């Protein structure tokens, strides 16, 4: 038998060995994105800062930007709206208008710009009982957000996911309450077309109030310039998702200066682009979505008074409690949670400690806007007097954090480590003991890099033992590769023949035993 013929047989055997995950794990990604303008026809009350602040001009249009991601049979929609927030009933109505994505798999988040149209009702003339919401625009806006999701879903195409993160983003945010309590990390997800590598969408998650421009101009504030920077460099549609921005994480700049607004927005965009230079690229990534409604006791008399005065565009209170929701999403190694308001950094840090993904996205102002969400220790402190006055109640932080932590622990993301381990966990179900009678063999797989390790597969007279770690025994056959190559093979992105012939997969020992792998595991 020639060496080349033997190598072909060997690699064929290895191919069968790698099949357990190739079918069950690999889930081809698809993605589509769309953007619709939601600028009112008439100059609106601007939401943020003081009441009765009507726009005198439109500096830049405000939008709803949507991306739809599909992996296997699961679809997820993420929408970023240039609004101060949307209440839960509005989110539910928008979802009801969407046919292409299950309602429970739709995230509708607000950038929290303080110079967008009032979408909650508190910034009209509340003392006179006049809501700041233009009802005609409000109805149109909700339909347009649903339309953006539908349009994104129509554009679904095979996609590549790039995930990235970075720490210590400076010159963008600062905490005016406690300077040291600040999350300066950035998380970035980018989806590119698998056919031509053009960018479909870039999602940026960072904690900061877009409130630099306290004037009478309608604008998405620093988000406008962030999008320009990213889209100018990468193409596609850029989405900003705020994070744990409460208490008070604001722009690191004096206000009311368009030059500074542009500088900060550009800095945020450049931070995202810089992170993408070290992105991990995935053609397949399983998608899992969890959603849960939670009930929070209402302790804020101002909220009840505003509801009774008819300032909110829709009913939001159930007796003495508020019903809202949280979501937990994993997309390959990435992990996301949604928070229905403005969580203080401590809440964000607490939840992130229990998240296992990389990157971690804490999406604030998602699917609701319940004001500030504080820990019980911070609630009521003189330092957080304003935040307490704009919070549903003392229990909000605990209810939200406890539920999200439980969800994160229940469904951790598929990290490199778990993906490699999953291969070996699948082998016992494939083992055929009747084909291994009288056989004694030890296979050792040495996988280097992140998520790797050493696994031994021992067969002894029809019995199988799989263990992690190298024993002192002499292996009959050793297969060596790195985690990146291993996962590329088991996820169907690289042929074993290619890995073997290029030297990325090495085999040492009794080569004839490699031919029997397929037989032992029933292929």
pLDDT digits (tens, 9 = 90+) for 502-522: 888 888 887 777 777 778 876
Residues 242 and 132 in one domain: yes
451 or 130, which is more confident?
A: 130
Domain span at residue 66 reads 38-414
Is residue 168 exposed (0-12), middle (13-18) or buried (19+ Cβ within 10 Å)?
Answer: exposed
What b-and-e string marks burial along 369-392, b requiring 16 or more CB atoms within 10 Å of the CB?
A: bbbbbbbeebbeeeebeebbebbb
Q: How far apart are CA 394 and CA 377, in angstroms?
A: 9
Residues 422 and 404 in one domain: no
Residues 424 and 401 in one domain: no
Residues 202 and 264 in one domain: yes
- Classified as helix, coil or strand, 412 is coil
Work out the number of other CB atoms within 10 angstroms of the CB of residue 235: 13
Residues 271 and 321 in one domain: yes
Q: Is 32 a domain residue?
A: no
Could you tell me the CATH number of the domain that includes residue 469?
3.30.1050.10
Closest CA to 26 of 423, 358, 445: 423
Q: Is 509 a domain residue?
A: yes
Residues 388 and 454 in one domain: no
Question: pLDDT-derived band of residue 339, with 50, 70 and 90 as boundaries?
Answer: very high
2 or 457, which is more confident?
A: 457
Is residue 118 exposed (0-12), middle (13-18) or buried (19+ Cβ within 10 Å)?
Answer: buried
Least-confidence region, from 125-129, 198-202, 203-207: 125-129
In the chain, how many domains are there? 2
Q: How far apart are CA 462 and CA 292, in angstroms?
A: 47
Closest CA to 227 of 74, 103, 65, 383: 65
Residue where a domain terminates, one of 383, 414, 445: 414
Residues 318 and 460 in one domain: no
Q: What is the value of pTM for the model shown? A: 0.81
pLDDT for residue 9 is more than 70:
no
Q: How far apart are CA 76 and CA 110, in angstroms?
A: 17
């Amino acid at each position: 038998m020639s060496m080349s013929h033997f190598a072909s047989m060997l690699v064929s055997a290895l191919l069968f060995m790698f099949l357990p995950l190739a079918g069950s794990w690999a889930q081809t990604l698809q993605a589509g994105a769309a953007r619709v303008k939601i600028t009112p026809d008439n100059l609106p009350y601007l939401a943020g800062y003081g009441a009765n602040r009507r726009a005198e001009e439109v500096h830049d249009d405000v939008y709803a930007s949507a991306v739809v991601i599909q992996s296997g049979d699961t679809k997820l929609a993420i929408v970023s709206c240039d609004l101060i927030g949307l209440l839960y009933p509005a989110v539910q109505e928008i979802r009801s208008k969407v046919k292409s994505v299950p309602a429970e798999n739709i995230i509708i988040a607000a950038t929290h710009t303080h110079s967008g149209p009032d979408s909650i009702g508190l910034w009209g003339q509340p003392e006179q009982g006049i809501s700041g919401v233009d009802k005609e625009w409000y109805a149109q806006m909700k339909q347009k957000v649903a339309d953006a999701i539908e349009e994104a879903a129509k554009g679904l195409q095979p996609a590549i996911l790039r995930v990235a993160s970075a720490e210590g983003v400076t010159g963008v945010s600062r905490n005016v309450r406690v300077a040291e309590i600040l999350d300066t990390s950035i998380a970035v997800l980018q989806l590119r077309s698998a056919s031509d590598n053009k960018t479909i969408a870039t999602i940026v998650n960072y904690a900061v109030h877009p409130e630099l421009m306290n004037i009478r101009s309608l604008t998405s504030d620093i988000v406008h310039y962030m999008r320009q920077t990213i889209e100018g460099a990468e193409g596609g549609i850029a989405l900003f998702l705020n994070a744990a921005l409460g208490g008070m994480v604001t722009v690191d700049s004096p206000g009311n200066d368009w030059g500074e607004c542009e500088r900060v927005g550009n800095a945020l965009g450049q931070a995202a682009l810089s992170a993408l230079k070290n992105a991990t690229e995935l053609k397949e990534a399983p998608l899992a979505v969890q959603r849960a409604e939670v009930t929070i006791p209402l302790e804020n008399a101002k909220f009840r008074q505003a509801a009774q005065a008819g300032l909110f565009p829709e009913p939001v209170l159930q007796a003495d409690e508020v019903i809202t929701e949280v979501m937990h999403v994993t997309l390959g190694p990435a992990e996301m949670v949604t928070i229905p308001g403005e969580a203080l950094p401590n809440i964000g840090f607490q939840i992130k400690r229990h998240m296992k993904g990389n990157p971690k996205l804490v999406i604030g102002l998602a699917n609701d806007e319940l004001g500030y969400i504080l820990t019980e220790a911070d609630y009521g402190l003189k330092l957080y007097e304003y935040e307490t006055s704009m919070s549903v109640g003392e229990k909000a932080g605990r209810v939200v954090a406890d539920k999200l932590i439980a969800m994160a622990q229940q469904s951790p993301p598929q990290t490199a480590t778990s993906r490699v381990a999953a291969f070996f966990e699948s082998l016992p179900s494939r083992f055929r003991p009747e084909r291994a009678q009288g056989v004694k063999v030890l296979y050792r797989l040495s996988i280097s890099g992140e998520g790797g390790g050493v696994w031994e597969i021992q067969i002894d007279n029809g019995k199988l033992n799989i263990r992690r770690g190298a024993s002192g025994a002499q292996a009959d056959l050793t297969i060596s590769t790195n985690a990146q190559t291993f996962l590329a093979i088991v996820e169907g992105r690289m042929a074993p023949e290619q890995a073997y012939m290029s030297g990325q997969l090495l085999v040492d020992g009794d080569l004839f035993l490699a031919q029997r792998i397929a037989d032992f595991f029933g292929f």
